Amino acid sequence: MRLEVDIKGKTFRSAAGGIQEVLAPVKFALQSGEVGVLIGPSGCGKSTMLRIILGLDPEFSGGVARPPQARIGMVFQEPRLLPWRSVEQNVRLAAPGVADAKLAELFRILELEAHRDHFPGELSLGLARRVALARAFAVEPDLLVMDEPLASLDDALASRLRDEIATLVASRPVMTLLVTHSLDDAIRLGDRLFFLSPRPARIMREVPITIPRAERSEADLGRIKGELARLQLESK
Amino acid sequence: MLRLLSFALLLGTWWTAALFVGGAKLPAPPAVLHVMIAEASSGALFLHLGATLARVALAFTLAMSIGSAIGYLMGRVKLADRLGDPWLILLLNLPALVVIVLAYIWAGLTEAAAIAAIAINKLPTAIVTLREGARALDRSLDEMARVFAMPRWRAFRHVVLPQLAPYIAASARSGLSLVWKIVLVAELLGRPNGVGFEIGVAFQLFDTPRLLAYSLTFAAVVLVIETLLVQPFETRANRWRPRAA
């Protein structure tokens, strides 16, 4: 499976009546098993880009080729849970086919076992984010899109969840698109990093990471980080 | 307990007032109770009450289902809103009496005319409330349902309906009270049975005990339906909200 994004541009009319350009031409493709990471300053149009890729926003010029039968798992920036359904129901409604064992496993990994029957209003933001992750994983997606999934989680949990995401991505051929602010998350998870410019967003630089995810040592990560820092200095 | 006390106070006031005004204008509670028992044992009370309740149930269901559907559509589809709005404003401001009289003139003094007239009176308020509810729907949850490819019916049932539930409850409650009021007028003007008809007869005979007996029984039934049907529904629809301390 393959995701091809070829956005020629996106504008929207502001309340004052002016026309604002949100996205410049953006073009990239993603294969099954690949993790693409979008990194950019906040407000640069990343979320708009995701909405277009997910098919939520048809008003743009250009095209997005998504396999029509692809199952999508999405972790929104805000958890977007149904407040009137329990944690378990929230997951099951998105993934009706999920096996009990699989669900139990997910809840165990994300430490949600004690919260199965709670309503989202009773959860902290960190917990709600984990439910959103469980929901996205439970559908066994072909295309997994995550918009800052690890923001506002403590470091220990964030790093564990990062490992879980890596495991999931490795376990099935899934195309993953991750939006993040954290360079650390990007180089630990990503195969290809797309650095975006401020609004209107375009891809300033595409950096592939050739070492397979599982084999990246701390030394490798440090070196990649150093290289990225140097590249960014050059571009300024 | 407090409710009981409040009720006793009401009864006490009534009784005292009856002593001052005199039995012809305001009969004391025992006199009214006597008529109630007499009417109940002859079966007339239940017959009339049943006829009225059946009309309420039919008109209410009709107005709620059609009104909710139209309101939802108008809240969701801009074109429907713009097309329907003038009709809505007309219906909202049409006096109940006009609708009832016209319905009897056009459709004859029939059961269908009565029920339609009551339903038409309730319809616009249901539409307005549900339209507000549909407008307030959370778009981000809609998007979530779309991304996860939830089938339409599942999304409607689990994403949309719970958001509309408070509006449906509000519309049911205000609508029910509206229907209670209008059904009696419709019966008074054109039906040969029902509480409204009996009250009309009592009015012509200046039979205050009979008038009060029917009105109070009717009020009691309304109260029972409120506590047993409407309030539990509201509680259930709101059970996910964190309770106020």
What is the interface pTM, i.e. ipTM, of the complex? 0.87
Opening angle at CA B193, ends B190 and B197, nearest 5: 65
CA A122 to the chain's CA centroid: 25
Residue of A nearest to B144 (CA): A80
Residue B12 forms part of a structural domain: no
The Cβ of residue B243 has, within 10 Å, a number of other Cβ atoms equal to: 6
> Where do the structural domains in chain A lie, given as residue ranges?
1-71+142-161+170-236, 78-140
Which member of B141, B150, B154 has the closest CB to residue A80?
A: B141
B137 — contact with chain A (CB < 8 Å)?
A: no
B107 — contact with chain A (CB < 8 Å)?
A: no
| Type of residue numbered A226 | G
Along the 236 residues of chain A, how does pLDDT read in single tens digits? 888 888 888 888 877 878 888 888 888 989 888 899 999 888 788 888 898 999 888 888 888 888 888 899 999 988 999 999 999 999 999 999 889 999 998 898 888 999 999 999 889 888 898 899 999 999 989 999 999 888 877 888 888 888 888 887 787 788 999 998 888 888 888 999 999 888 888 888 888 888 888 788 888 888 888 888 787 766 65
What's the predicted TM-score (pTM) here? 0.81
Residue B181 forms part of a structural domain: yes
State which fold the A1-71+142-161+170-236 domain adopts. Answer: Rossmann fold (3.40.50)
Instruction: Inspect the interface and report whether the beta carbons of A56 and B147 lie closer than 8 Å.
Output: yes
Residue B50 forms part of a structural domain: yes
CA pair distance B62, A109, nearest whole angstrom = 50
Residue B23 forms part of a structural domain: no
- CATH number for the domain spanning B165: value is 1.10.3720.10
Closest CA to B191 of B74, B18, B94, B50: B50
- Domain hosting B81: range is 32-237
